[in-house]
Structures are given as C-alpha cells and as structure tokens.
A and B are shown apart, each in its own frame.
Chain A
Amino acid sequence: GDSVTQMEGPVTLSEEAFLTINCTYTATGYPSLFWYVQYPGEGLQLLLKATKADDKGSNKGFEATYRKETTSFHLEKGSVQVSDSAVYFCALSLSSNTGKLIFGQGTTLQVKP
C-alpha cells in the first residue's frame, strides 16, 4: 500500500550543524509531497511542499527536492538553530485532496546550543 518512511530519531545536533532527515515513499500515481513540523506545545504546521518531480520546496532555510527516480523527499537545512527543535513529519497526498495525507512516523530533532 501507499506509505511514507522516515529515518528514526531522535536526531541530536549542535547549533549550526547541517541537517538531513531522510524520507522515502511508496505510492501509486503521482503524489504531492509535504513536510510538516510540530513545535513543542503547538499544532502541525506545513513547512514546505512539492507537487511534481524535480520540484524543490523551501521555507525558513529548509529545502526538499521531489525525486521520483529514488522516491525520496529528504529534508535539509544548512545551519540549524535551537529554535528548529521540533518533530518533523514527511507526508504525501494521492489526489487533489491535499487534506487527506499519509504521514511518516515523525523524526524528533533536538538542537543543542
């Protein structure tokens, strides 16, 4: 079935380190891909998205490129900050209904000063 797999956490980094959180997917058709973030005590927020192959989503210094050949959508940031500490979820939607999402397990990121 359709699914999303993320690297297991927690991921602990020092401030200004480079971040990669791996995400791969299995889907029929041509999904849209998303990264959501949940900061402590808050709801899920859309971080970035890509709707077709080779698209790059970017926001707040984070980037992810839709790679159809490797079915991946890895999240990267060049220099993390303490304020980036959160849980990150990779997700896909299979149709034009972008509210119906299939999520990965989530990856907890902790950034230490």
Chain B
Amino acid sequence: EAGVTQFPSHSVIEKGQTVTLRCDPISGHDNLYWYRRVMGKEIKFLLHFVKESKQDESGMPNNRFLAERTGGTYSTLKVQPAELEDSGVYFCASSQTRNTEAFFGQGTRLTVV
C-alpha cells in the first residue's frame, strides 16, 4: 500500500511568486493534516481536513496560504505570493479516523529566495 506522497520534494522560487504543494494521502484516509517546519524549529500544525471540509485551520499563518481538498482525496497548499519567511519543510499526514495513527509524507522543502 502506498504511503502519503508529497510533490514536489523540493521547490525553489523567488519572493512574490506562487507555489502549489500537493499531498496524496493514503487511500481511504478521511483525515488529512498539513504541518510546517521552519528553519530547524519545531514542526507546527497548519490545518486539518476531514474529507473535503476544513475541520481546523487555526495554524494557517496568514491569508497568503490557501489549502484545498476537492473531492476529499488529494490536497493542495498554495502560497501566493511567497515571502522569504515561508521557507521551510511542509509535511502532510493522513489518518483513517481522528484517533488513529497519522502517517506522514516525506515533506516538501520550499526555499524562497
């Protein structure tokens, strides 16, 4: 069974550009989470989907970030326009239910120059 897959693995963009990160959860997992680790600091929660609905987006840093999960399958996280402080590693995780183990992807390393 395929695990959580994230695309791309690395992205380097200029300040002011737009970037879209994609996460494919494990098939059948209704719960999908986005996290971010900035500059070797702690990994911080961004938001939580249950199927296509945003359950909790309390960690989204500002309105330059837009997450979607159309159809309740894969999810995208768009940053527009990107700023230097957005650089970091973005992780996606999925779980079958709210209280079962969440499985993480390898992360997307975003560098904004």
- Give the nearest-CB partner of B41 in chain A: A105
For the complex, is B33 an interface residue (Cβ under 8 Å from A)?
Answer: yes
State the CA gap A99–B42 with chains docked (Å). 16
**A63-113 with Cβ < 8 A to chain B:** 89, 91, 96-106
* B5 CB, nearest partner CB in chain A, Å: 10
Interface contact A100-B41, CB-CB below 8 Å: no
Tell me, rounded to whole Å, the shortest Cβ–Cβ distance linking B4 to chain A.
7
- Is A33 an interface residue, CB under 8 A from the partner? no
Which residue on A lies nearest to B98, using beta carbons?
Answer: A97
**B residues whose Cβ falls under 8 Å from a Cβ of A:** 3-4, 31, 33, 35, 37, 40-45, 48, 56, 91, 93-95, 98-107
Residues on A lying within 8 angstroms of B by beta carbon are 4, 36, 41-46, 89, 91, 96-106
